[in-house]
């Protein structure tokens, strides 16, 4: 060799067998990661022993003492010597048993592990015995012969000085105060699932228990006693099932929070085949539905119990059995997601339900879960609902043509509306048959077109991306994997609304305008705005004619518009209802005149399929999240609101930059009313983009191929590369 290494050649290190106690301690550290994992194992053992009452006492977050007492079947005297050895269990004898295992434990590792990282003392008595036995363990073996002692039915296991021999683990845990909170949380979860068992959890020596539940036949009662009435009264019962071996086989039952429930964090209590587990995919899928359907962007409370054939669940994938893997997980998640969605859509029902959900006082007989059955609505009634908060006030007499959406009406208005709403509902109900006989192949073809033109790469981006924020008035910044993209929210929302108009075809909920708006005047407004710059009145006659003809045309088409698109035009030619394309979203009412003009001018009324397509496109354009007509006050647009800086009509604002940039600000006074109106409009739009558009896009949008090339998506950076740049700096 030409180049002799200058350093002396190192011998490879020797491989040797680890001392068994070291191996065990390492393994134990995996099973018992923190005090709460020890509590979980002990409580599960108690449940496996058919206990009906389990109490937990904890000192110093579990580091000083964990004591779990139950009234289960106890442990035989003869088994005590091997109780805490590794791989000793009464629950499994051959590997195949795992396939149908019902007990929570099966590895025979938990107690053994505890003896390697703490001091374990067991007191137990079996049925028919006069006295019990007490014995302590260390490193898997008994420290002494079991001692006879007085005992009450069942088993008590005590762990002292957890992690006494793992200095680093103990130190990190000592600094965190939240282990007791975790233990309380764990017991709360067990308590609402195993409702035939009473649970309690307290700090050692404390008189008051932090979790206290008694056996009850009603799940809601259990939830009430553990999570409080504010949670229990806002729950909706939910069920789903499938029994098709080619897709999925499961049964799910549970409770989910309704729209009145408000929380910053999701609580998801999930049991699969009676095991407390986590399933991130399911949790995320449900959170997305809540974000897309409820206004407050509240995080949900979810209790779900899923039962699957035991052979469909692999329980042995996680050392603490926390995550399980399921056969057909994606199908199951999707099915549950859609059930949650349809339950939430009936938010009015959930409110009525709330009043009966939990008994008002103990004198009223407890409500059992059977009482809470939400009978499904008669089919079709959903489409006639006009939720009161969706009623929008319009004012067509406003000379500026600004038809503002008043999202919050006062109670008086609600009452006034009520009777007319009922009338509207019943009249629509009578007409339902017409819809059912319609031949809808053309709408199905349009939906198939959307599906076949879907770009799979973009679909992945929209369904998995994270919204970062608005980069300017039109582009939002998103992150997908390690890439950042700019996405045109106007194009995206326009397409989404178009697709929604097709998908909800003939099944829309309605936005009720509080003042019916005359078509003729709306069209006149739109026409005048079209040639605002000309400022001439000479062709007013012509405009009148166009308006008259278009209004006439739309009146002729009123029945079809109402039946299929929920666009309601009364016999006097007034527009009074519009469809809801996305829940929680009301379009910018300033754009109504333009929309009505577009219905007259741009819709193809000759051929069915083209007609539906152009109508859906007109709706898409109207409902798209365009920048508000008032300039954005946070930025250059602010100048527009200086007094004397703009004309009477705020729509001039779109061209205002031309006379803003002169820099001669004489007056510092702003048009405050207009300014705050603009601020509200922009803030509301941004809220809708984040909380309605993006969550709904994830669920519903099929991005067409054209979006890959027309500038709707622009990849701006790769985070990997950015990190590299930062590293060099």
Closer residue to ligand ADP in complex, CB, 191/291: 191
| Residue 70 engages ligand ADP in binding (rule: CB under 6 A) | yes
Q: Would you give the binding string for ligand ADP spanning residues 72-111, x where CB under 6 A is met?
A: xxxx-------x-----xxx-------------xxxxxxx
Residue 75 interaction partner, one of ligand ADP, Mg ion, none, beta carbon < 5-8 Å per kind: ligand ADP
Closer residue to ligand ADP in complex, CB, 101/253: 101
Contact 567, 577 (CB under 8 A): yes
Residue 306 interaction partner, one of ligand ADP, Mg ion, none, beta carbon < 5-8 Å per kind: none
Q: Work out how close the CB of 414 gets to Mg ion at its nearest, in angstroms, rounded to a whole number.
A: 57
| Residue 345 engages ligand ADP in binding (rule: CB under 6 A) | no
Closer residue to ligand ADP in complex, CB, 154/628: 154
Stretch that binds ligand ADP, among 41-49, 259-267, 677-685, 708-716 (CB under 6 A): 41-49
Tokens (6 digits) for 604: 């193809």
Q: Work out how close the CB of 48 gets to Mg ion at its nearest, in angstroms, rounded to a whole number.
A: 7
Contact 614, 607 (CB under 8 A): no
Residue 503 interaction partner, one of Mg ion, ligand ADP, none, beta carbon < 5-8 Å per kind: none
Closer residue to ligand ADP in complex, CB, 73/382: 73
| Residue 67 engages ligand ADP in binding (rule: CB under 6 A) | no
Q: Work out how close the CB of 375 gets to ligand ADP at its nearest, in angstroms, rounded to a whole number.
A: 43
| Cα gap 487→474, rounded to integer Å | 8
Residue 615 interaction partner, one of Mg ion, ligand ADP, none, beta carbon < 5-8 Å per kind: none
Closer residue to Mg ion in complex, CB, 118/703: 118
Residues near ligand ADP (CB under 6 A), total: 22
Q: What share of the chain is helix, strand, coil (3-state, %, to 5)?
A: 45, 20, 35
| Cα gap 94→677, rounded to integer Å | 72
Stretch that binds ligand ADP, among 21-29, 39-47, 388-396, 479-487 (CB under 6 A): 39-47
Q: How far is CA 570 from CA 106, 112, 300, 573, in A?
A: 70, 78, 41, 5
Compute the CA torsion angle 207, 212, 215, 218 (nearest 10 deg): 150
| Cα gap 188→222, rounded to integer Å | 9
Residue nearest to Mg ion (CB): 105
Residue 581 interaction partner, one of ligand ADP, Mg ion, none, beta carbon < 5-8 Å per kind: none
Residue nearest to ligand ADP (CB): 105
Q: Work out how close the CB of 121 gets to Mg ion at its nearest, in angstroms, rounded to a whole number.
A: 17
Specify the residue for token string 């067509």: 396
SS3 (DSSP) at 421: helix
Closer residue to ligand ADP in complex, CB, 28/268: 28
Closer residue to ligand ADP in complex, CB, 72/198: 72
| Short-list 621, 655, 625, 627, CA closest to 640 | 655
Q: How many CB atoms lie within 10 A of CB 12?
A: 5
Contact 161, 118 (CB under 8 A): yes
Residue 89 interaction partner, one of ligand ADP, Mg ion, none, beta carbon < 5-8 Å per kind: ligand ADP
> 429-465: string of b/e by CB count within 10 Å (b at 16+)?
eeeeeebeeeebebbeebbeebeeebbeebeebbbeb
Closer residue to Mg ion in complex, CB, 105/300: 105
Q: Residue 268: which H helix or E strand, with range?
A: strand 267-272
Q: Is 519 exposed, middle or buried (0-12, 13-18, 19+ CB in 10 A)?
A: buried
How far is C-alpha 94 from the geometric centre of its chain's CA atoms? 41
| Residue 49 engages ligand ADP in binding (rule: CB under 6 A) | yes
Q: Work out how close the CB of 702 gets to ligand ADP at its nearest, in angstroms, rounded to a whole number.
A: 48
- Our CA angle for 328, 330, 336, nearest 5°, is 105
Closer residue to ligand ADP in complex, CB, 111/513: 111
Residue 521 interaction partner, one of Mg ion, ligand ADP, none, beta carbon < 5-8 Å per kind: none
| Residue 46 engages ligand ADP in binding (rule: CB under 6 A) | yes
Q: Residue 684: which H helix or E strand, with range?
A: helix 672-688
Closer residue to ligand ADP in complex, CB, 51/656: 51
- Sign of the Cα torsion 709, 710, 716, 718 reads negative
Q: Strand (E) positions, 417-482? A: 466-470, 475-480
| Residue 155 engages ligand ADP in binding (rule: CB under 6 A) | yes
Q: How many CB atoms lie within 10 A of CB 87?
A: 10
| Residue 132 engages ligand ADP in binding (rule: CB under 6 A) | no
- Please report, as ranges, the residues that interact with Mg ion according to CB under 5 A: 45, 105, 110
| Residue 692 engages ligand ADP in binding (rule: CB under 6 A) | no
Closer residue to Mg ion in complex, CB, 38/575: 38
The residues that touch ligand ADP, with contacts defined as CB under 6 A, are 41, 45-46, 49, 70, 72-75, 83, 89-91, 105-112, 155
């Amino acid at each position: 060799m030409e180049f002799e290494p200058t350093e002396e050649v190192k011998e490879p290190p020797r491989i040797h067998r680890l001392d068994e106690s070291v191996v065990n301690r390492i393994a134990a550290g995996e099973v018992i990661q923190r005090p709460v994992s020890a509590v979980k194992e002990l409580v599960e053992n108690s449940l496996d022993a058919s206990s009906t009452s389990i109490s937990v006492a904890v000192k110093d977050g579990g580091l000083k003492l964990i004591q779990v007492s139950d009234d289960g079947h106890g442990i035989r005297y003869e088994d005590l010597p091997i109780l805490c050895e590794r791989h000793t269990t009464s629950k499994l004898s051959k590997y195949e048993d795992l396939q149908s295992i019902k007990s929570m434990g099966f590895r025979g590792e938990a107690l053994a592990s505890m003896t390697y990282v703490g001091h374990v003392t067991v007191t137990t008595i079996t049925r028919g015995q006069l006295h019990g036995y007490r014995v302590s363990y260390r490193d898997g073996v008994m420290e002494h012969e079991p001692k006879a002692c007085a005992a009450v039915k069942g088993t008590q296991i005590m762990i002292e000085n957890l992690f006494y021999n793992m200095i680093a683990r103990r130190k990190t845990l000592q600094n965190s105060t939240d282990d007791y909170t975790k233990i309380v949380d764990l017991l709360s979860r067990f308590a609402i699932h195993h409702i035939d068992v009473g649970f309690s959890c307290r700090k050692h020596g404390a008189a008051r228990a932090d979790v206290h539940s008694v056996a009850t036949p009603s799940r809601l009662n259990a939830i009430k006693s553990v999570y409080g009435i504010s949670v229990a009264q806002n729950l909706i019962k939910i069920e789903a099932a499938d029994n098709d071996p080619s897709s999925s086989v499961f049964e799910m039952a549970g409770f989910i929070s309704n729209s009145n429930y408000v929380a910053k964090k999701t609580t998801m209590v999930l049991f699969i085949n009676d095991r407390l587990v986590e399933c991130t995919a399911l949790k995320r899928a449900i959170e997305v539905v809540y974000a897309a359907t409820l206004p407050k962007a509240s995080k949900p409370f979810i209790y779900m119990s899923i039962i699957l054939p035991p052979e469909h669940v692999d329980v042995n994938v996680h050392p603490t059995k926390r995550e399980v893997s399921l056969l057909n997980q994606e199908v199951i998640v999707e099915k549950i997601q859609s059930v949650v969605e349809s339950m939430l859509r009936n938010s009015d029902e959930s409110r009525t339900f709330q009043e009966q959900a939990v008994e008002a006082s103990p004198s009223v007989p407890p409500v059992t879960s059977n009482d809470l059955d939400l009978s499904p609505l008669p089919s079709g009634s959903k489409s006639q609902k006009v939720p009161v908060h969706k009623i929008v006030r319009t004012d067509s007499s406003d000379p500026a043509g600004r038809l503002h959406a008043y999202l919050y009406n006062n109670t008086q208005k609600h009452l006034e509306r009520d009777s007319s709403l009922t009338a509207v509902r019943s009249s629509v109900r009578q007409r339902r048959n017409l819809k059912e006989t319609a031949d809808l192949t053309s709408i199905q073809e349009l939906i198939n077109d959307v599906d076949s033109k879907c770009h799979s790469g973009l679909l992945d981006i929209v369904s998995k991306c994270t919204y970062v924020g608005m980069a300017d008035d039109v582009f939002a910044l998103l992150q997908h994997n390690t890439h950042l993209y700019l996405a045109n929210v106007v194009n995206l929302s326009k397409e989404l609304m178009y697709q929604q108009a097709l998908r909800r075809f003939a099944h829309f909920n309605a936005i009720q305008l509080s003042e019916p708006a005359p078509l003729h005047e709306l069209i006149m407004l739109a026409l005048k705005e079209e040639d605002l710059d000309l400022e001439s009145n000479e062709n007013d006659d012509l405009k009148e004619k166009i308006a008259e003809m278009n209004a006439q045309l739309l009146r002729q088409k009123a029945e079809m518009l109402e039946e299929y698109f929920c666009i309601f035009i009364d016999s006097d030619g007034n527009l009074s209802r519009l469809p809801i394309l996305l829940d929680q979203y009301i379009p910018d009412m300033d754009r109504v005149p333009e929309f009505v003009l577009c219905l007259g001018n741009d819709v193809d009324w000759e051929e069915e399929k083209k007609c539906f397509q152009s109508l859906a496109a007109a709706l898409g354009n109207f409902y798209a999240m365009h920048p508000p007509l008032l300039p954005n006050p946070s930025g250059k647009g602010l100048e527009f609101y200086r007094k004397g800086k703009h004309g009477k009509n705020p729509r001039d604002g779109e061209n205002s930059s031309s006379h803003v940039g002169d820099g001669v600000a004489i007056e510092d006074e702003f048009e405050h009313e207009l300014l705050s109106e603009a601020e509200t409009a922009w803030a509301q739009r941004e809220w809708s983009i984040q909380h309605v558009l993006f969550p709904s896009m994830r669920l519903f949008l099929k991005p067409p191929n054209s979006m890959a090339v027309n500038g709707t998506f622009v990849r701006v950076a790769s985070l990997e590369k950015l990190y590299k740049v930062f590293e060099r700096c």
